[in-house]
Structure 1
C-alpha cells in the first residue's frame, strides 16, 4: 500500500525534534525512520517515471564500476581482495565530505579525533596514532598520489579537484611501506586531460562563509597538458570568546595545485605536480577545557589540615564524567607549585597576592570562576593564532618496457610548517596582585604597581596569564622505483625499492606570567648600593652575587630569543632514514583462484638529539670562590639557553608481508562473487621519549621512566566477500577480521613530556558495505562496522587521574616547583609529618614526592637539613633506615599504583559505526533535482586506556541533507545543503593535561550546523 504524503510528513515531524526542543540528543531510530521516509517519498510520488520498460529490466541502472589503485595498479574495486572503500570527488561533494576528518562518515570502523599539540588520530579498526611524541609515526599511512607523507594537513586542508580518496583497511606494509599497520588513506588528484576544460564553484553560507573552487585544464599540443586548480575558504568563527568578545575558530585558508603532464609516446609518460596549502586565522587547536574541581583534603587521618596543607593535598581536577555539570568547573589552583611559590612571595615588605596579606589562608586563583556549559563558548584572555604552510613537489615517470613490463619512478619532496598559539588555560583567573602603591613602594622596584604585573612576553595583567605555542618544521624526501608486469600467463609480479629521509623539529612552549615573576623575584635578584632588592636579567651569572641567576627573555611573544628560562620549552629534533625492498607475486592458479604473496624488508633508523627543558632552572655564583655552580635551589646546570645533548640512534630491521587467496565463483543469487582470505604482518617503528628537565639529581631525583618505546607489530587474519547482485544494481561486500597486536603505542603526559607506553592488544570485527541502485534514479548506500578491542591481560599503567587506585592508606601529594608530576605517600607518614613540622607550614611534605625541594634532598644535604632531621627519624616514623624514601618505599617510585588494563577497550574504538545515505534524482524537463539525506552514528567509546567513567565518550550521531539542481546540457549545478542538521555538539575526543597544570581536560567536538548554497559551472 502506498503511504500518503500527509502521513509521510507526520512521520518526519515525529522523527525530527523541533527547534524549541530542549533535548538535541536525537534517538538513532528516529533519524533512521526519517531517512527511510525521505527515501520512499520520491519513489512513490514518481513511481511511474521509475518503472522499467519491462519487469526486471534495469539495464540502465547498474552501479558504475569503481577503479582503485589499492595494489598500485588500476583494478575494479570488486576485484581487489582488500577491504577498501573509494570515494570520488563527486561522492565526497554529495556527502559534503570536505576534509580528512569527515571520512569517518562514509567508511566502516573508521574514527577521527583531534588530539593535543599539532596531532590528530585517524584510526582504522581501533588502530590509530595514540602516541603524540615527535619521534612516533602515524599508524595510518596518509598518502598523496601513492606517496606516504609522515606530516600532512589531512585535518586542516580541504579536498579539491580530487579523482578519488581510497581508504584501505588493515596492514598494507608490502606495497605502501612503513607505518601502515592500520591501513592507508590515499588521495589521488585529477590528472590533466587532452581536452580544454574549466570549472568554477562559488559557495556562501552561515557564519559568513565564502568558499571558491576552480580548475583549468589546457592541452598543450598533442603530447602535453597542464591542469591548474585551487580552493579558498573564509568564514567567521564557530566559537565565541566571552572575555575578548571575539569570534574564534574561524577559517582563512587556500590551496593550489599545478600538474604538468607529458606523454611523448605510448610507452612513456611523465608528470610534475606542485601543491601548496596555506592557512592564517584563529583556528582553535583544542576545544574547551573541562575540569571537575578537586576540593582538597581537610583531614589526614585524625589531623586537621591548614589551608596550605589542603592546597598541597589536591590535584586540581579529579576524575568525573565529562558530561556532568561539575565538569564545567575550574581547577583548584591553590596547590599548583608556581601559585604556592608566588603566593608566598613577600617583596620589599609587601605580599604579592592582595587577598592574603599575612599568608594566613591559601588562595585559589580560580575560586568562584564559572565556565559556560556551552562547548562552543570559551573565556580566555588570549585569542588563538594559527598558521600552517605546506608545499609538495612530485615527479612521476611511467616507462613501458615492451608490452608486458612497466617501470615506475616516483620522487616526492614535502615541506610542512606549523604554528599555533592559544590560551593555555581556557578560563580567566581572578585579579590577584597587590597594589604596591598602597605599601609606599618605589614604582621603579615594585612588582605590581596598581595591582598590575607586566610580563615581557604576555604583557600587563592583574591575574594569571598563560599562553602556549605549538610549532613544527618538517621536511621529507622520498624516492620509489617499481617494476610491474602484465603477462598473459598465470604469473605476474611487482618488485621495487624506496628510500625516505624525514627531518622534524617540534617545539612546544608554555608561557606563564607567574613563571616570569618567580624567575625575576625569587631567583634572579640582588641588591643595589643602598641595599634595596632589585631584579637582574641574568645574561651573566656573576650579576647575582650570592644568589641564583636565571635568564628572563625580555622580548615580546612574537620575537622571543628562545633562550629564556622563564618559560617552558620542549624541543624535539628527530631525523628518520628508511629504505626498503619489496615484491609481490600474483599466481592465477585457475581461472577462478588467485594467490597473492608479498614480502617487504625495511631498514629504519631514527636519530634523536635530546634538548632537555630548562623551566625555572638557573646557576649559583659563589662569590667567595669565584666559581659558577649548580643552582643551589633550582638545581640547574645553565642559566640561559637550551643546550643540546648527545644525539643517539635507534634502528630496526623488519620483514612484513601478506598472503591472500581469492576465489571467484558463481552462485544462484549473485551475478559475481569473490571470497578471499588473507594474512598480513605489519610493523611501525619505535622511538625515543622526550628528555625531562636537565637538573642536578642531588636536588631532584626524578621517578624512573623509560627513555625509549618499542615498535608496534600486528598479525592480521581477514575473511571477506565481494558480491554483485541484481544485474549489477547491488554491490554487497562483507569482511571479518582478527588482529593480534604487540606493543601498541599510547602516550600520556608525565613529568611534562609525552611518555609513550606499549601495550599488547587484540581486535576483531565485522564490516558490511552496501551500494544499491534501487531504481534508475534512486540510490542507497549503507555501511556498518562492528569492532571489539581488548587490551591483553597483565598490561598495566599508572592512571594520573587516580594514582591511589582506591587504596585509602595512600594519599596524593602536589610536589614542589621543580617536580612536575604528582606522587602518592602513606597517609600515616603524611599525618606524622604534618604533626612534627607544624600544620601552619606543611611545605616539607613536598619532599615526600620522588624528588626534593628547597626543604631537603636525598643526598648530601640530608644530615644538615632541619626539616628532614625533624621528622625523618626512626623513633617517630618507625622506618629501619631512619627515613622514608619514595623511590624505594612507594609503589612505582611514588608515581602510584598501577591500574589493571586487562580486558579494557582501546581508545577511540567505538563498537558500532553506521552510515546510511539515500539519494533520489527527479527529472524535470532539461533539469535534474537530486534529494539526498545522510545519517551517521557511532556508539560510545573511551578516550584513554583506563576505561573509567572519566574516559567515557558518549555515542553521537550526525544528520546531513542536500538538494541539488543540475542542468546537464549547460553543466550548471546549484546546491543547498545542511550539515549537522540538529546542531549537535558531541565530545569526539579528550586529552588529559599535565599534573602541574591541574589535570585539566581538553575536549574536541564537531562543527556546528552548517548551511550552504553553491553554484557550479563547467565550461
Structure 2
C-alpha cells in the first residue's frame, strides 16, 4: 500500500506549482489583457455545467481547437490530455488507458476499462472504439471512475464524443481536403440543412481517409500503418413543440486496412516456437528473421509476414433521443442499436517474415481455410435504453439526476484462431524438450500440427438504476452524493476446433513416393506431434489440408451485481477570498468514489479440450483531491488533481504454454491487488498574442498481490509477479502546445508548436517477460509544427510537419516471452508533412 505521507507529498508538490504559476504569468503580462479564456460547458455530470465549476478532473476540447490541432480521430487526443494513453498492443485498434487503468486485450469477453460514448451511446467493444471524428462538437476526457452516472461502469474513466447539433439558422456547407506525404489523401464534407419551415434541421458529414502507410514492410510491397476508412454521420433534430425535442443520430464507418507493424526483438531461445523450423518464403529460422527485423528498427522499417496482420471492421450505430419536461424534471430518453460485421482482425504474433504465429479472427479464417472449409461470418449487435431525469428542488439548491439503464449485447460466431507455420505445419528439432519418452537426435525434425480455432457466441445483459444529488449547502460549499446499482448477466457457448491428428498423419503419409526425399511414414506420437523425419523429408512435404474436428460445445452463464457510490465535497471560494488571492475563481474538491467492471466467462483451451472458467469483476476505489483556478482576468487557467486508486481483482489477459508446449494459450485471470497513485496538471495561459496549453501526468502503479497459476517450462506453478512494472502505462507524460495569433495584412496567421513526452512502457504479458530489458519500450519525445492561415471567413489553409526531428521511437507493443520468445514493438511515425484546405460555402 502506498503510504499516506507519499500521497501528501504529491499533493504538496502540486500545490507549490499551483501557487507559483499565477505569479510567474502575472509578471509576464503588461497592461490589460485583450482576450480571455472561453467559458467551456461540459456534461460530465449528465447536465450542462461550466468546466471550472465541475468538481471532476476533465479535459474538454472544442471543435475549433480539434481542427486547429489537426485531430481526425479520438486517438489523436492522447497528447492533449494528461494520464490518457492509447496503447498499441496485439491488434491495430488501440487499448485506451486513463490513470493506468484500461484493458490491453481485445478479447470480446472483456469490457474496456475506459468507456467511449458517442452522443451519449456506449460503444461496447474496444476494436470499435476508434471513432473517426466526422463532425465533432467536442471531446471530453473524464478521468477517474465514472461509476454512478454513466451507462456502463467505467473504472478508468470515460471519453465523451459529441457531434455538432444541426441548427435552423442557415444552410451551411464546408469542405476540408488534406494531402500529404506517404500518399495522404483525406476529404471531409459537412452540411447543415434546415427544412420543414425550420422545425427540422439536419447535419450530414462524410469523411474519407486514405494513406499508403508510413512503415515500410521490406517483406511486402505494402506499407503498414496505412489508412483506408470511410465514415458517415447524420444528425436530425425536430422541434416537435416548444418543449419536445426529437434527436435522431446515425453513424456508419468502414475500415479495411493492414494491421499493426511490429519490430521484432528476440528474447528467449528456450521458447519452443523459437526453436521451430518454418517453411515458406519468409525463412525457416525465427531468431534470424527477428534479428533481421531488429536491424531495421532505426529506419521506420519492419520485416513482417504480410498476411498475418489485418484490421477490417464495419460499424453502424443509430440512436433516437427524446427530450421533454415531465413533472417538473427534464427527461431524456436515449434508445440505440449498434452493429459490427465484416470483422477481420489479426496480429502477427512473431513479428517477423517467417510464417510463424498469427492470432485473431483472421487467423481463425486461415485455420478453417487450411481445413478446406469456410468459417461462418461473425457479427455483433447491441441494444441500449436509458431514461434520465434532471431537475432541482429547494429553490434550486438541490440538483438531482436519476434514471435507469438497460443494455443487451450479442456476439455471434466470434472467431478466434492460432495459425502456426505453413497450414499449421512446423518442424521441431529432436533435441527440444517436448516431454517425449525417448530422446530424439537433434538432426531430425518432429513434424508438428499446431493450428487451432474456436467459435463462440456471447450474450451480455446489463441493468442499472442510478441517482445523484448535489446540494448547495451555502454559497461556498456543495456536497454531492451518488449511487448506482448494476446487475450484469453473462453467458457463453464455446466450440473448440482442433485437427484430426490421425487423419493428418494419413495425409502426410499419402505423399510417400511422390518426392524422392519422402521415404518414411510418420506416426502421431502425442497431441499435434509426429514421429521424426529427416530435414529433407520435412521440406519435401506439400502441406496438406488440415482435417478439423469440432469438439462438443461447452456452455456457461454467470451473474454479477454491485453498488458503486460517490461522495464529493466541493469548496467554492467566496469572491472576497478569490480577490485576496488575485484569482477570478477557485474551487477545491475532495472525491471518494467506486468503480466496477463486470467479470465474465472465458475459455482456457488446449489442443485436447477446453474449460469454461469464470473471472471476477474489477473494482476500484478512487480518493481524489483537486483544485481549479481561473486568474489574471480570465487569462490563466490552472487545474490540478491528486489521486490514489485502490485496485482489486485486475482482469488480465495471460499467455502461456499449452499442454504440449507448442501451443499459445490465451485466457483471462484476476491478478489480485494494486495501488495506482499520481497527479495531473493542466495549464492554459493567454500572454498577449501567445496561447500556451500544457499538461503533465504522473502515474505510479504497484502490484500488491499478483499470484497466478500458469504452465511453466517445469510444469504448472503459481508464480508471484508482484514485482512487475504496471503494463502499458508510462509513469510520466507531459505535453505542450504553443500558438501565436498574428493578424497580418493578408489574413490571420497562427503558427503552433506541439511537444509530447512519454516515459518507458512495460509490454510484457507472461511470467518471463520482466526478465528481459526488451520488454520495456524506451521513453520518447516528439515535436510537431502547424501553421494556420485564415485568408477570409470562407477560406483557410494549414500546413503541418509531424515528428520534426524524424527520430525513431516505439509507441507500444507486446512481449510473449515464454511461448513465442520475442518482444514485438510498435514503431512510431517518421517525419510527415502535408497541407489542408478548408472552404465554407455561403
- C-alpha distance after superposition, 1:876-922 (max 9, x if no partner): xxxxxxxxxxxxxxxxxx135624414x4321222211111110011
Corresponding residue SS for 2:161: strand
Q: Which residue of 2 aligns with 1:932?
A: 752
Aligned equivalents of 2:367, 2:80: Cα separation in 1: 49
Shift in Å, 1:1018: 1.2
Q: Which residue of 2 aligns with 1:287?
A: 262
Aligned equivalents of 1:602, 1:663: Cα separation in 2: 30
Aligned equivalents of 1:471, 1:995: Cα separation in 2: 33
- C-alpha distance after superposition, 1:512-556 (max 9, x if no partner): 45455689xxxxxxxxxxxxxxxxxxxxxxxxxxxxxxxx9xxxx
Over 3 Å counting, the alpha-carbon distance change for 1:742 and 1:381 in structure 2 is closer
Verify the 8 A CA contact 1:419 1:470 in the aligned structure 2.
no
Verify the 8 A CA contact 1:675 1:719 in the aligned structure 2.
yes
Alignment pair present for 1:315 and 2:289: no
Alignment pair present for 1:584 and 2:468: yes
Over 3 Å counting, the alpha-carbon distance change for 1:395 and 1:706 in structure 2 is closer
Which residue of 448, 451, 454 maps to 1:570?
A: 454
Verify the 8 A CA contact 2:817 2:823 in the aligned structure 1.
no
Q: Which residue of 2 aligns with 1:971?
A: 794
Over 3 Å counting, the alpha-carbon distance change for 1:795 and 1:634 in structure 2 is closer
Shift in Å, 1:98: 2.4
Corresponding residue SS for 1:671: strand
Shift in Å, 1:275: 0.8
Corresponding residue SS for 1:614: strand
Q: Which residue of 2 aligns with 1:97?
A: 71
Shift in Å, 1:566: 7.8
Aligned equivalents of 2:464, 2:402: Cα separation in 1: 11
Aligned equivalents of 1:690, 1:723: Cα separation in 2: 50
Over 3 Å counting, the alpha-carbon distance change for 1:737 and 1:386 in structure 2 is closer
Alignment pair present for 1:720 and 2:541: no
Aligned equivalents of 1:790, 1:689: Cα separation in 2: 26
Aligned equivalents of 1:620, 1:512: Cα separation in 2: 15
Relative to its length, the structure with more strand (as a share) is 2
Alignment pair present for 1:985 and 2:778: no
How does 1:31-70 map onto structure 2 within 5 Å?
Answer: 56-58=31-33, 60-70=34-44
Corresponding residue SS for 2:674: strand
TM-score by length of 2: 0.80
Alignment pair present for 1:208 and 2:183: yes
Shift in Å, 1:422: 6.3
Aligned equivalents of 1:158, 1:202: Cα separation in 2: 15
Verify the 8 A CA contact 1:922 1:929 in the aligned structure 2.
yes
Over 3 Å counting, the alpha-carbon distance change for 1:617 and 1:101 in structure 2 is farther
How does 1:316-355 map onto structure 2 within 5 Å?
Answer: 331-334=274-277
Q: Which residue of 1 aligns with 2:838?
A: 1016
Over 3 Å counting, the alpha-carbon distance change for 1:663 and 1:767 in structure 2 is same
Q: Which residue of 1 aligns with 2:301?
A: 377
Corresponding residue SS for 2:678: strand
Q: Which residue of 1 aligns with 2:761?
A: 941
Over 3 Å counting, the alpha-carbon distance change for 1:618 and 1:400 in structure 2 is farther
Corresponding residue SS for 1:907: coil
Over 3 Å counting, the alpha-carbon distance change for 1:428 and 1:788 in structure 2 is closer
Corresponding residue SS for 1:103: helix
Q: Which residue of 1 aligns with 2:12?
A: none
Verify the 8 A CA contact 1:137 1:179 in the aligned structure 2.
no
Q: Which residue of 2 aligns with 1:901?
A: 722
Aligned equivalents of 1:391, 1:620: Cα separation in 2: 42
Q: Which residue of 1 aligns with 2:713?
A: 823
Alignment pair present for 1:1001 and 2:813: no
Tell which deviates more after alignment, 760-769 or 950-959: 950-959
Over 3 Å counting, the alpha-carbon distance change for 1:506 and 1:171 in structure 2 is same
Q: Which residue of 2 aligns with 1:961?
A: 785
Over 3 Å counting, the alpha-carbon distance change for 1:370 and 1:771 in structure 2 is closer
Shift in Å, 1:942: 1.6
Shift in Å, 1:953: 2.0
In structure 1, runs of 5+ residues without a counterpart are 1-50, 295-313, 318-330, 343-351, 356-362, 432-453, 460-467, 520-551, 553-564, 622-630, 697-701, 801-820, 825-893
Verify the 8 A CA contact 2:737 2:752 in the aligned structure 1.
yes
Verify the 8 A CA contact 2:213 2:223 in the aligned structure 1.
yes
Q: Which residue of 2 aligns with 1:733?
A: 639
Aligned equivalents of 2:192, 2:390: Cα separation in 1: 30
Aligned equivalents of 1:79, 1:455: Cα separation in 2: 56
Aligned equivalents of 1:377, 1:207: Cα separation in 2: 14
Shift in Å, 1:994: 7.5
Over 3 Å counting, the alpha-carbon distance change for 1:289 and 1:407 in structure 2 is same
Aligned equivalents of 1:186, 1:999: Cα separation in 2: 39
Q: Which residue of 2 aligns with 1:687?
A: 600
Q: Which residue of 2 aligns with 1:76?
A: 50
Which residue of 478, 496, 502 maps to 1:612?
A: 496
Which residue of 662, 677, 695 maps to 1:783?
A: 695
Corresponding residue SS for 1:72: coil
Q: Which residue of 1 aligns with 2:25?
A: none
The count of residues paired between Structure 1 and Structure 2 equals 726
How does 1:124-523 map onto structure 2 within 5 Å?
Answer: 124-151=98-125, 156-195=130-169, 196-220=171-195, 221-281=197-257, 283-292=258-267, 294=269, 314-315=270-271, 331-334=274-277, 370-372=291-293, 373-375=295-297, 376-380=300-304, 382-383=306-307, 384-401=309-326, 404-417=328-341, 418-420=343-345, 425-429=350-354, 457=369, 473-487=379-393, 488-504=395-411, 505-512=413-420, 514-515=422-423
Verify the 8 A CA contact 2:741 2:749 in the aligned structure 1.
yes
Tell which deviates more after alignment, 205-214 or 752-761: 752-761
* Cα RMSD for the two superposed structures: 3.5
Over 3 Å counting, the alpha-carbon distance change for 1:286 and 1:796 in structure 2 is farther
Shift in Å, 1:106: 0.7
Aligned equivalents of 1:592, 1:273: Cα separation in 2: 40
Verify the 8 A CA contact 2:749 2:788 in the aligned structure 1.
yes
Shift in Å, 1:471: 8.9
Shift in Å, 1:116: 1.6
Q: Which residue of 1 aligns with 2:445?
A: none
Verify the 8 A CA contact 1:241 1:378 in the aligned structure 2.
yes
Corresponding residue SS for 1:716: strand
Q: Which residue of 2 aligns with 1:873?
A: none
Over 3 Å counting, the alpha-carbon distance change for 1:109 and 1:382 in structure 2 is closer
Alignment pair present for 1:920 and 2:740: yes
How does 1:522-541 map onto structure 2 within 5 Å?
Answer: none
Alignment pair present for 1:670 and 2:583: yes
Verify the 8 A CA contact 2:339 2:380 in the aligned structure 1.
yes
Over 3 Å counting, the alpha-carbon distance change for 1:656 and 1:924 in structure 2 is same
Aligned equivalents of 2:301, 2:420: Cα separation in 1: 23
Over 3 Å counting, the alpha-carbon distance change for 1:225 and 1:768 in structure 2 is same
Over 3 Å counting, the alpha-carbon distance change for 1:694 and 1:422 in structure 2 is closer
In structure 2, runs of 5+ residues without a counterpart are 1-27, 357-365, 428-447, 506-523, 530-545, 659-663
Over 3 Å counting, the alpha-carbon distance change for 1:571 and 1:987 in structure 2 is farther
Corresponding residue SS for 1:78: helix
Aligned equivalents of 2:355, 2:814: Cα separation in 1: 25
Shift in Å, 1:1003: 2.0
Aligned equivalents of 1:252, 1:747: Cα separation in 2: 29
Shift in Å, 1:1001: 2.6
